[in-house]
């Protein structure tokens, strides 16, 4: 017997599409199930101006013939970002958010912000114009333990920025800790968080026990089980401040399976089946629609999608390809470590 679940067509509020041959190879994986996605600007070089965002959007659309997927562009905040350019790109409907990477925090973040005071005038202009700020929330200080970097970022950087810039809409991206969940819940307004698929499934043991698993390495790195449970509780709670941002971040296998492997998990292909299984196992399947189709759009001030996506559960496990072949090399799909019984109905 099979069970089905029809959802609002989902959106992905944090996605890496890359560029060139990788973009060509992977963009269809998101466009198949998702209506829209917030596109991360951490290309090399990063997308920092409205003109660059426009050109990147055109490259994405050119790689996507015949689908109605809508990329929602973002700008990469640097210490040299000009408020006028940013505001014009927002007014034109081209960009939907600005991304703050602390310099050196993650993949391709070298142009990020070192001195947060330098970003203050731009943040104030964004608050006034209602442009949301997406934040990679980790400090980069060498003396801070990698497992503590998110919690320390909240106290040292994020809370001071929010206090100094009242009215700024902030999305804490890919939260990995109970500290972040609690912080989002403590805010009166203007704060939300994205949660990834993989952080609902793995904890740090999955990365390290029984041999190092490079395909589970991402940033922020997965934390201990109690934190995963806090994320699962938040995602399935029906709290509108938590919504899906897959952070699907493809890297070619040779860059992952490497003595200095890149951070990023690739989940675009099977995120909706994975989430259905996770929400089902938690007894919260009825909460999936809001998590993937309502809360993010509402926070960003976008209309909810009118289309639908139907998932079905089968008794026999559903097989997904182990890798996607791209012109930039093979990309390994995230392996949840359990049999998947859900799939998107064709
Ligand atoms: N999440 C990751 O581990 N990697 C992302 C960057 C990011 O979102 O921090 C990437 O661009 O590869
Ligand atoms: Zn990030
Ligand atoms: Zn990301």
Task: Please enumerate in sequence order all residues whose Cβ is within 8 A of that of 133, keeping only pairs 6 or more positions apart, or say none.
Answer: 77, 97, 98, 99, 100, 123, 126, 168, 169, 170, 171
Domain boundaries, the chain: 3-344
- pLDDT surpassing 90 at residue 1: no
Q: How far is the centre of ligand 1, averaged over its atoms, from the C-alpha of 211 (Å)?
A: 22
pLDDT confidence tier of residue 137, bands split at 50, 70 and 90: very high
Residue 2 has pLDDT above 80, yes or no: no
Length of the chain: 346
State the ipTM, two decimals.
0.99
Confidence bin at 65 (pLDDT 50/70/90): confident
User: Could you tell me what percentage of the chain is helix, strand and coil, using 3-state DSSP and rounding each to the nearest 5?
Assistant: 35, 20, 45
* Gap between the Cα atoms of 220 and 204, Å rounded: 11
Q: What is the mean pLDDT of residues 142-163?
A: 97
Query: Which CATH code fits 3-344?
Result: 3.20.20.140
The pLDDT confidence band at residue 117, using thresholds 50, 70 and 90, is confident
Task: State both tokens at 318.
Answer: 């559903």
- As to burial, measured by CB atoms within 10 angstroms (0-12 exposed, 13-18 middle, 19+ buried), residue 55 is exposed
Q: pLDDT value at position 53?
A: 98
Longest dimension (CA), the chain: 59
Which residue's CA is the closest to the ligand 1 atom numbered 2? 264
First to last CA, the chain: 18
For ligand 1, atom 6, the nearest C-alpha belongs to: 107
> What's the mean pLDDT in 98-124?
91
Ligand having the closest approach to the CA of 207? 1
Our answer on whether the CB atom of 313 is closer than 6 Å to any ligand 1 atom is no
Q: Is 254 a catalytic residue?
A: no
Give the pLDDT score at 276.
98
On average, the pLDDT of the chain sits at 97
What CA–CA distance (Å, rounded) separates 142 from 36? 37
Res 163: pLDDT:
96
What's the average model confidence in pLDDT over 291-297?
98
The phi and psi torsions of 159 (rounded to 5 degrees) equal -65, -45
Distance CA 9, CA 114 (A): 38
């Amino acid at each position: 017997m099979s069970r089905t679940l029809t959802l609002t067509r989902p959106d992905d509020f944090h996605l890496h599409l890359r560029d060139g041959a990788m973009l060509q190879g992977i963009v269809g994986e998101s466009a198949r199930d998702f209506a829209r996605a917030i596109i991360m600007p951490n290309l090399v070089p990063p997308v920092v101006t409205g003109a660059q965002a426009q050109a990147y959007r055109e490259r994405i659309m050119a790689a996507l013939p015949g689908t109605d997927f809508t990329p929602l562009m973002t700008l990469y905040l640097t210490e040299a970002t000009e408020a006028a350019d940013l505001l014009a790109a927002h007014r034109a409907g081209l960009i939907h958010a600005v991304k703050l990477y602390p310099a050196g925090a993650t993949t391709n973040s070298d142009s990020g912000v070192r001195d947060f005071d330098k970003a203050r005038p731009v943040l104030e202009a964004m608050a006034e114009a209602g442009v949301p700020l997406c934040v990679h929330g980790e400090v980069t200080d060498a003396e801070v333990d990698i497992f503590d970097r998110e919690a320390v970022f909240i106290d040292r950087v994020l809370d001071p920025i929010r206090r100094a810039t009242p009215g700024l809409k902030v999305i804490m991206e890919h939260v990995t800790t109970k500290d972040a969940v609690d912080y989002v819940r403590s805010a009166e307004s203007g704060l939300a968080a994205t949660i990834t698929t993989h952080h609902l499934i793995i904890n740090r043991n999955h990365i390290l026990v029984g041999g190092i698993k490079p395909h589970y390495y991402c940033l922020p790195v997965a934390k201990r089980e109690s934190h995963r449970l806090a994320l699962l509780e938040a995602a399935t709670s029906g709290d509108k401040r938590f919504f899906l941002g897959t952070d699907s971040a493809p890297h070619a296998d040779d860059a992952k399976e490497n003595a200095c492997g890149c951070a990023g998990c690739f989940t675009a292909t099977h995120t909706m089946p994975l989430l259905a299984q996770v929400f089902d196992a938690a007894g919260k399947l009825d909460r999936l629609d809001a998590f993937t189709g309502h809360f993010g759009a509402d926070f960003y001030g976008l209309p909810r999608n009118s289309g639908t996506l139907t998932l079905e559960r089968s008794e026999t496990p559903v097989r997904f390809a182990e890798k996607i072949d791209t012109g930039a090399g093979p990309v390994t799909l995230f392996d949840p470590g359990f049999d998947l019984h859900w799939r998107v109905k064709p």
